[in-house]
Amino acid sequence: MRVLVTEKIADGGLQRLRDAGHEVDVQEGLTPEELLVAIPGAHALIIRSATQVTAPVLAAGTDLIAVGRAGIGLDNVDVAAATECGVMVVNAPQSNTLSAAEHTMALLLAQARNVPQASEALKAGRWERSKWTGVELSDKTLGIIGLGRIGKLVAQRALAFGMKLVAYDPFVSEDRARQLSVQLLSLEDLMAQSDFITLHLAKTPETAGLIGVDMLKLAKPSLRVINVARGGIIDEQALADAISEGRVAGAGFDVFATEPCTDSPLFALDSVVVTPHLGASTAEAQDKAGDTIADMVQLALAGDFVPYAVNVSAAEASEVVRPYLSLGEQLGRIFAGLCGQISEGLEIEYQGQIAEFDTRILTLSLLKGFFGATTGGPVSYVNAPQIAEEQGIEVRPTSTTTARDYVNLITVRGGGHSLSGTLVGLKSVQTLVMIDGYTIDVPPAEHLLVVRNADQPGMIGKVGTLVGEAAVNITDMAVGSSPEGEKAIMVLATTESVPESVLEALRQTDGVVSVATVG
């Protein structure tokens, strides 16, 4: 498949995609207009922070399966539009966490000790030892806004400097904060108590302008503000005014509301230290991001589970659940062949050990298989729930840890039909074990012929003869009977689709009740 790369990505990651047989099309520095021309025919788009993936870009990329962001932030990707188009958005959330945390500490120390200002003065021939007197970090209060991956790493490093840690994060429990030696506070209390604050959260409509005029009024005059997260979370003009008026001591900024940025009200202030978005700019982080995003895009192109998909409603799969993802998709595909289009709901039941885990990704896998067989457009983990909603199909998953005949069992019901499957043996062989109440034992296959017939002698011969005379090879076969014993079922796996003429002949055969095909 064609992978369009519009920004600098580590060569190791791109080589992974080439080794997998994909065409890597590197076109760096495209204008928005040029991107609209380049995107048609691309199956994946890999970017960093500069490329704007807008709704028009996604609409033009009619073959797009995935957009990969080699880094964490996604404010340059219209994730909602991608979801509507069924395009998976993936990132590399752990690739630059360490680099960003270390850069935060670099700005923290540079701001506390006026390192760049003193360096610039000395290089210009001025010995300004008294002018650039700094402050110690020890015993100062550091307010961490956002106690996620990077915030946690900053907390660990700040502790080593003897700092007192407070944090604001509504998604972190008191117990978790105590484990990190952090006291949770409201944002207002954090602003009032901190000597330094550092931000580590995504830019969203809720966080844009989070630290503005009102919040800065709560600050102590000794406050120094560090931002290595995203530009626009702090109102730069409001902060510049507060520093100019002596209400805030200084700031260290790596990110800005508009980038590239060469003109900010902060730049005119001696007590401000700035860098041009260097938080992830280490050789190690670049390599990690390139490798990770290549792996994620490769999984997406193969239709496999993608751990870092941001617009999949359940982008996690435990080691117990993950082996069942392919089975779930097969069950959805085969069930669609059995019942065709349905207007009512789908019931999905998980029995056994898998019911102890989050099975939402299994439900998405089954829907992906079902709608992939019933709709003409592309179906993915991303848009399968949306398709169900558009078609008015209610999906009702249930779970029970009580297992009867199998350690784990997945059953789907709807439209008067049911289908069950599991993994069998040490090799975890995918196996269909029940259709419409009939017990069977046959692996899923691309082509299946399902015949319901009277439970009487000679039926296997009649069906086998008609299929064989059409030169269709039977690779596997299972028979089962109903609990009442009046009707039976035959499930035949074939190397190709059974011709319609054979299906019609089967329907006319004495003793045959119904005929259905899959694939």
The reply to whether 259 belongs to the active site is yes
Cα of 297 vs its chain's centroid, Å: 11
102, 128, 259, 446: the catalytic one is 259
Q: Within 13 Å, how many C-alpha atoms sit on residue 74's CB side?
A: 20
Q: Decide: 234 and 210 in contact? Cβ < 8 Å.
A: yes
Name residue 252's amino acid.
G
Helices 97-113, 115-123: axis angle to 10 degrees equals: 60
| DSSP assigned state of 497 | P
CA 478 centroid distance within chain: 39
- Whether 230 sits among the annotated catalytic residues: the reply is yes
Taking each helix axis as running N to C, give the angle between helix 97-113 and helix 283-301, from 0 to 180 degrees, rounded to the nearest 10.
Answer: 150
User: Checking DSSP bridges between strand 417-424 and strand 429-435, what pairing results, if any?
Assistant: antiparallel
CB count within 10 Å of CB 288 equals 24
Whether 277 is a known active-site residue: answer yes
User: CA 287 to CA 91: how far, in whole Å?
Assistant: 14
Beta strands in 190-291 (DSSP E): 196-199, 224-227, 250-253, 272-274
Sign for the pseudo-dihedral over CA of 484, 488, 493, 499: negative
Return the axis-axis angle of helices 283-301 and 11-19, rounded to nearest 10°. 20
Q: Measuring CA to CA, which residue among 30, 81, 76 is closest to residue 60?
A: 81
Angle at 120 between CA 116 and CA 126, to 5 degrees: 130
DSSP β-bridge partners for residue 447: 494
Q: CA–CA distance from 368 to each of 303, 314, 360, 386, 388 (Å)?
A: 10, 13, 12, 11, 10
Given the residues 230, 236, 329, 413, the one annotated as active site: 230
Element spanning 213, H or E: helix 213-216
User: Which residues form the catalytic set?
Assistant: 230, 259, 277
